[in-house]
Amino acid sequence: MKRLNTKIGLGLLAGLLFCSCAKHEILQYAAEKPESLIAQENIDAYSPLISYIDKNAHPNFKWGVALNVDDYLNKGVMFRLANRNFEEMVIGYEMKHASIVQADGTLNLSKLERLIKAAQENKMQLFGHTLTWHSGQNATYLNSLIAPVLLPSGSAPVPGGINVPSESGYAMKMTNPSVVNAWEAQTAYDIVGMETNTEYILKIAAKGSKAGSIGIDLQATSNYTGDSFGAIALTTEYKEYELKLTTTAVRNRFIINFGEYAGTIFVDNISLKKVGSNADIIVDGDFENGISGWFGWGNSSTRAHSAEGEGYGGPGGTVIEKTTEEKKAILTDALETFIAGMFSVTKDDVTAWDVVNEPMSDWPDQYALKTGIGKANLAEDEFYWQDYLGKDYAVKAIQLARKYGNPNDILFINDYGLEGGGDKCKGLIDYVKYVESKGVKVDGIGTQMHINITANKDDIVNMYKLLAATGKLIKVSELDIGLGDNIKTANATSEMYEQQADMYKFVIEKYFEIIPKVQQYGITIWSPLDSPDRENSFWRRGEPIGIWTESFVRKLAYQAVAEALEKQK
């Protein structure tokens, strides 16, 4: 590369203004451009990325980018960057179930219609992502469809019905974020008037967000010794508990120990009385007027007044659970409503879809499907269709996509971690074979490739070979490359950026080298910009994963990508 010398002329004022007759001498200074500036100028001299793809050699290859829908609709810098550099876009969230399906089950498709129009106007192709996934779902609505039916108290007995307590009023809500020693998360209430060598009876109603146990003591704050009521076993429905103890000394504090329980606990109707007495030592233990007098500490645990209706209301009604077949039928209808609605506005413009996203388990069996069964706490948008529709849930989704879409739509099954060196790639290929054995066609397989510069290149090559052998269209569907485990932009080095550029180049070049031309659907850059380090950054927060910086400055990775694309003649 030729080094550029720049001569900078600087005028030096030699005298005061009133000495206008003085002769001015122009001094010459020479300054070399910094190497970093020269390197950036070289990167900036590259053309838009799409211009490096030889469409004669690769007429069907799609060069794509993932975007936030508002970034495109607002027509700002990201809108212009996408239109200049890419030919296909995928929207990260706004085509997913949780974005489209409303609380009452209706579909809000207005923003999607605006997106389609904007894409048409700018000759940008739109890739559909995604029709069936375990995340990004309106799980509240879906769970409400298959929720048990509650018959009120006094209804006629129903075979198979389960009696459950009712909930009304308020309770005290306690949370503990993680398991520690029992005494490291405590809720307390100071009491007076207790006697030594006296029997007391405790009544309490409680439930938890999962099964577990909590302990209850009476304590003396003078020396922190105490007497224990023992532990109570929580279930996810309210239960009433009655416990007794005899004090061995004067006690002045009521303690709930819940450090060994990670989750949310509701307690209500707490009553503490000396046996034979009607005087309640705990005031307002029904929490209808708040949680005044209660306090606590430890492990970032919290105590709060519950929402109305979360308290214990006494004997309730009878719960009638829906059968497995009833749930399957209800959810199949819900899936069809969603897919039919999506195609009602996209059919003329979106001809390729991730129909099934991330089906395969990560551990321990990568040949198995993911499941929500046994998970203690599901996220608000987490719902596993396969737990209700079974292994054929992908078959049904593809059947529906064929029914409501176009005959020649390209339908993918997509997953992450296929380059990880384990069995996940083989497991996904086997699942595709199973789906096709049920009479539906899978056109392509997507490999996401959210990787780091430390990724094993031999494993990447092996993944490409396995995918190529399927004969399916292959798409690198969500490519971004970080600098290491949680390496943030502030800690990045020039050497790391060189390795990042090398890895981008390697991934793209090996795709073209190993995947036969007739199977090359395309590559999508999932995060074109480095991820900002702020609270609302939900994807690889603070990591410099893009080929542009947060400020839209091209990185060395941009040059590497351009060169990798240009090489494919």
pLDDT value, residue 10: 35
According to DSSP, the residues that pair with 188 across neighbouring strands are 255, 295
Tens digit of pLDDT for each residue in 470-516? 999 999 999 999 999 989 999 999 999 999 999 999 999 999 999 99
User: In Å, how far are 103, 134, 189, 364 from 388, measured between CA atoms?
Assistant: 20, 12, 45, 21
Low-confidence ranges of the chain (pLDDT < 70): 1-27, 29, 153-154
Cis bond upstream, residue 364 (ω within 30): yes
SS3 content of the chain, % helix, strand, coil (to 5): 30, 30, 45
DSSP H helices, 122-236, are 139-145
Domain ranges of the chain: 42-144+323-485+517-527, 162-318
Give the integer Cα–Cα distance in Å for 355 and 412: 6
Tens digit of pLDDT for each residue in 380-438? 999 999 999 999 999 999 999 999 999 999 999 999 999 999 999 999 999 999 999 99
Looking at residue 568, its amino acid is Q
Give the β-pairing of 5-11 and 199-208. unpaired
Q: Which of 57, 58, 133, 121 is nearest to 95 (CA)?
A: 133
State whether CATH 3.20.20.80 applies to domain 42-144+323-485+517-527.
yes
Give the β-pairing of 5-11 and 26-32. antiparallel
Enumerate residues 6+ apart whose C-beta is below 8 A from 531.
537, 539, 540, 541, 542, 543, 544, 545, 546, 550
Give the integer Cα–Cα distance in Å for 452 and 486: 10
Give the integer Cα–Cα distance in Å for 426 and 448: 15
Give the integer Cα–Cα distance in Å for 334 and 397: 11
Asked if 285 contacts 271 with a C-beta cutoff of 8 angstroms, the reply is yes
Q: Hey, what CATH class is 162-318 in?
A: mainly beta
Give the integer Cα–Cα distance in Å for 29 and 9: 6
> Which residue is it, tokens 């198995």?
368
pLDDT value, residue 162: 76
Q: Full-prediction pTM beyond 0.85? A: no
Give the integer Cα–Cα distance in Å for 229 and 75: 65
Give the integer Cα–Cα distance in Å for 90 and 349: 13
